[in-house]
Amino acid sequence: MPGQKPIKVALLGCGTVGTEVVRLLTDQAPDLTARVGAPVELAGIAVRKPNKHRQVPAELLTTDVDALVESDVDVVVEVVGGIEPARTWLLKALRAGKSVVTANKALLADHSGELFEAADASGADLYFEAAVAGAIPLLRPLRESLAGDRITRVTGIVNGTTNFILSGMDSTGASYAETLEEATRLGYAEADPTADVDGFDAASKAAILASLAFHSRVTAAEVHREGIASVSAADIAAAKGLGRVVKLLAICERVDGSESGEPGAGESISVRVHPAMIPRTHPLAGVSGAFNAVFVEADAAGEMMFYGKGAGGAPTASAVLGDLVAVARNRVVSGRGPRESAYAALPVRPMGQAPTRYHISLDVADRPGVLSQVAAVFAEHDVSIAVVRQEGRVDDAGLVIVTHAATDAALRSTVDKIGGLPVVREVVSVMRVEGEE
């Protein structure tokens, strides 16, 4: 609108994502003005080493983050990452009434409550679509579009590095180490891939998803986490033999007392990240390479899947710009975005109480009575067997068992006792099974 006061933006960080944010703000300036109802003006960019950012206007660069945050900007966009000093900067901005757009999953997974409280106290907005699944419009549908529904389960592939590795192992038969090396060479894995392959990245995202889906505060520390380093080529082959594929899944679900195995227990939530076998007919099974996808189940809406590029400079910047347009519009019309919804305050169940299924591969002695001894242990722990497959060899045999649903603690105790049977030479592998009744 002619004469409308510009919306001033401070950008904290100018790495891969920040550089794309600057480019989009510049290239799309006329369109953004039309969409927002006012010009969107980049007031400054906080970086550590200005001489390393020749691709952006030098006059915008500053190393004084505090001065930039405390200036007369309307919106602070943070793409630095990490907990500190990002937490301090964003709290300062929110407490001063400046809206915040962030892509910082680790910060949100640990401190979203503190950030929302600061936003509520000052009337500022807090948006974070880019924190989970890159360009995929996911958090806003959970936060707004499905606000009138009851979400029962969210299952997602939310880390592109691990999905690239597991997809490669499935298609080539290569080992984990070989496929990780290839992912590193192609730039899909960092030189230190720990955050990805050990599940830390996915756990932070799972905490955010669970918080939004179930109207409860969930932190990354409450998410059960397992990585993919122990997934072998044999596990991948075993999954293929059963018509399944292995994925690193972030699983967030409602659990009532009867499902958890605890009589009289009330509703709670299970939030976990671990490798799992899923049927090749499941919508998530066909998600390959570095793509992300999240499968949502709700009472009224039914089943939905969100799919797309989950990382990268341009995709993540697209999500950042979407949030920036939203908060800028609110500034123009003196409106406010959605607030935190944590009224349900559902407790997070320990992993041992989570309902799940196991795929167990055993190396056993090839003689009569082995299966009956193994089955007796399952019965002792009240775990029902769904599938048994035995392959005989000269002196020993391979035994594969897939269970019906039981608590993870019961299944783990079953496996531990089976491993001590004289007829069992080795528990070759144990993997959870998801996506089946």
Q: Is the per-residue pLDDT at 324 higher than 70? A: yes
The answer to whether 407 touches 355, Cβ cutoff 8 Å, is yes
The three-class DSSP label of residue 71 is coil
Residue 211 tokens, joined: 């918080």
What share of the chain in percent tops pLDDT 90? 84
Neighbours of 299 (CB within 10 A): 9
Answer for the pair 97, 121: CB distance below 8 angstroms, yes or no. Answer: no
pTM, full prediction: 0.92
pLDDT tens, 76-124? Answer: 999 999 999 999 999 999 999 999 999 999 999 999 999 999 999 999 9
pLDDT tens, 267-307? 999 999 999 999 999 999 999 998 999 999 999 999 999 99
Q: pLDDT tens-digit profile of 142-201?
A: 999 999 999 999 999 999 999 999 999 999 999 999 999 999 999 888 999 999 999 999
> What secondary structure does DSSP assign to 346-412, as a single string?
PPBPPGGGSEEEEEEEEEEE-STTHHHHHHHHHHHTT--EEEEEEEE-SSEEEEEEEE-SEEHHHHH
Alpha-carbon distance values, 268 to 215, 252, 346 (Å)? 11, 11, 5
CA distance 40 to 331: 11
What pLDDT sits at residue 258? 59
Tens of pLDDT along 348-380?
999 999 989 999 999 998 888 889 999 999 999
Higher pLDDT, 179 or 54: 179
Both structure tokens of 249 = 């899944």
Position 263 pLDDT exceeds 60? no
d(CA 230, CA 177): 10
User: If you average pLDDT over every residue of the chain, what do you get?
Assistant: 93
> Which residue in 8, 205, 247, 309 is the catalytic one?
205
pLDDT number for residue 3: 62
Residue 85: cis peptide before it, omega within 30 degrees of 0: yes
Q: What does the alpha-carbon distance between residue 235 and residue 227 come to, in Å, rounded to a whole number?
A: 14
Residue 260 has a pLDDT of 46
Tokens linked to 169: 């192992």
Sheet holding 99-102, edge to edge: 61-62, 40-46, 7-12, 75-78, 99-102, 126-127
Is 98 designated active site? no
